[in-house]
Amino acid sequence: MTSIINLQSKSENKIKLALKNITVTFSSSNGHQVLAVNDVSLDVYEQEFIALIGTSGCGKSTLLNVMAGLITADSGQVLIDGVETVGINPKIGYMSQLDSLLPWATVMDNVALGLELRGISKKERRAMARELIVRMGLTGFEYSYPHELSGGMKKRVTIARVLAIDPEILFMDEPFGPLDAFTKEILQDDILKIWHETKKTIVYVTHDLSEAISLADRVVLISSRPGKVKAEYNIPLPRPRNVMDIKFDANYVDIEKTIWLQLKEEVIKGKEGIGHVSKIS
């Protein structure tokens, strides 16, 4: 496809995270072995923003959990900075789609949680947390509890919390899934800003194609179960991007169409697994 030109490939950068032939099987409740991820290899470059996209249940979250060390793969290796990693790696910060703030802790204590776990003194971690609270626009809510915040604000607290431990790699698993479209775009913009400022490597899992294209340098399409890398696309849209305006870029529609044609096949394939509505006669 000529319209997709590799304008700003990060491939000169060194490989930050590598998956080598990862295979994961689950035993389902009725005792069957289900192949969730099949022989996936993937290189993520330093400071790259990579998006994994696929239909729901395709194994993209499983893949992310393997990279994070929360799930052990049946076979294959995960390498970070060229070293094989087993279990949880402190270089990784993880933001899941589910609300994972401690409901009994204030915004301040939630943001400082990772620092507290690492044994940083109360005074020091509070100072660091306060800085991040200001940066995420949460001033005045330091001593509120999560149930007193809106969905978007909770996400900001979660972002502040993951930034507090200053991870080199950021994993985001459909982080803004349940939010409304406008809040989502504002938060996506925040993520882009943070990425520009901090130069972290970001692995972003989503099922929303426009989200993947607006944010990422590279989009990796994962096939329907069992999950496999079906295709990879470099996204040649200019940086810095503005999530709200990028859809009107001249190349945007071409890119979206190219990827969609492949993604559509997976959607249809996935649908067969779910079953379909039959015609009422």
Report the residue number, 35 or 120, with the smaller CB distance to another protein.
120
Least Å distance, CB 207 to another protein, is: 19
Q: What is the C-alpha separation between 207 and 202, in angstroms, rounded?
A: 16
Residue 50 pairs in a beta bridge with 203, 218
Q: What are the Cα distances from residue 186, in Å, to 55, 155, 166, 254? A: 24, 11, 22, 24
> At closest approach, how far in Å is the CB of 154 from another protein?
13
Structure tokens at 3: 């319209």
> Which CB, 51 or 111, lies closer to another protein?
111
Q: How far is the CB of 186 from another protein (least distance, A)?
A: 23
CB of 12 to another protein, least distance (A): 30
Q: Smallest distance from the beta carbon of 264 to another protein, in angstroms?
A: 32
Report phi then psi at 246, rounded to 5: -65, -25
Cβ proximity to another protein, 32 vs 147, nearer residue: 147
CB closer to another protein, 158 vs 214: 158
Q: 161 with 107: CB under 8 angstroms? A: no
Residue whose C-alpha is closest to residue 64's, from 32, 35, 97? 97
Looking at beta carbons only, is 10 or 161 nearer to another protein? 161
Place of tokens 């994961």: 24
User: Residue 15: in which H helix or E strand, if any?
Assistant: strand 15-27
| In the complex, minimum distance from the CB of residue 200 to another protein, in angstroms, rounded to a whole number | 15
CB of 188 to another protein, least distance (A): 21
DSSP labels, 212-234: HHHH-SEEEEEPSSSB-EEEEEE
Q: At residue 114, what is the residue type?
A: G
98/134 with CB nearer another protein = 98
Q: Between 23 and 100, whose beta carbon lies closer to another protein?
A: 100
CA-to-CA dists, residue 281 to 272, 276, 278, angstroms: 21, 15, 9
CB 40 within 8 A of CB 19: yes
Judged by the rule CB under 8 A, the positions of this chain that interact with another protein are 68, 70, 88, 90, 92-94, 96, 98-100, 102-105, 113-114, 116-118, 145-147, 161, 165
CA atoms of 279 and 281, how far apart (whole Å): 6
